[in-house]
Amino acid sequence: MTHPFVFNDNILFFKLAKTKLRMKKPSIFFISVIILAFMAAIFYIFWGNPFSAHSELDIPDKPNEKLFGMFNKEIEKEIENHTQSVMYPGYIAESRQNTINYLKTIKTIESSTRYGVKSTQPRNNLELRIVFKDGNVAEKIYTGHSCSGYTSPCLLMKVEMKDGKATHIFTNGVERKGSPEWIIPDLNIMINKAISYDINRNPNQYFPPQKTQQDFDKEWNE
């Protein structure tokens, strides 16, 4: 026969256990919320918001006749930079003409952002899309720059070209909120990265061939 005191002790033990379990439930809930919030923050940092923020400013469809003259002026500067420029040494003598020949193969250059100019997502890269006369297309050419909805929207452009020069330029209209001089860096970025695309594909048309082990051996034996 079970002693009544033992029975009462068992009841008391189960009541205490249930009380502790009830006390733990809020703690478990708050810990779970903190963990989920932390995981969401990590996901946002590395992958961003899965929802984009595209708007009318992501379409460069507004003509700007003043810009193509400015653009062509900057093309001349970039051609000089990709020759025997003191500021950019190392190019072969043929690099100037090779740059000109390459630009003549381009039909359009268009800039865009990965998630939209108003997006606040991280790594909202500013990218180029180049359409060549032969129908080939180069996409997602990273410019080294990004856009953020926390600041002013990025300038997007679509440049139509003929014989290596701009003939028409369309924008998203952002440039008109400031001085024409303010967007010269944007023009330089577009031209420079378009040329850099070909340099990366055809380095021998811009630089001397890379030295081989035989070249190194010859230098040491001289």
Same domain for 130 and 107, yes or no, is yes
* Rounded CA separation 148/125 (Å): 9
Residue 220 within any structural domain of the chain: no
**How many domains is the chain built from?**
2
The predicted pLDDT at position 40 comes to: 61
Q: Which domain holds residue 31?
A: 1-47
Residue 33 within any structural domain of the chain: yes
Same domain for 74 and 31, yes or no, is no
Residue 81 within any structural domain of the chain: yes
**Model-level pTM greater than 0.85?**
no
Residue 23 within any structural domain of the chain: yes
Q: Is 6 exposed, middle or buried (0-12, 13-18, 19+ CB in 10 A)?
A: exposed
The predicted pLDDT at position 140 comes to: 95
Residue 219 within any structural domain of the chain: no
Q: How high is the mean pLDDT in each 10-residue block of the chain (222 residues)?
A: 48 54 57 67 55 77 94 94 78 93 98 92 94 97 92 93 97 94 96 96 93 90 87
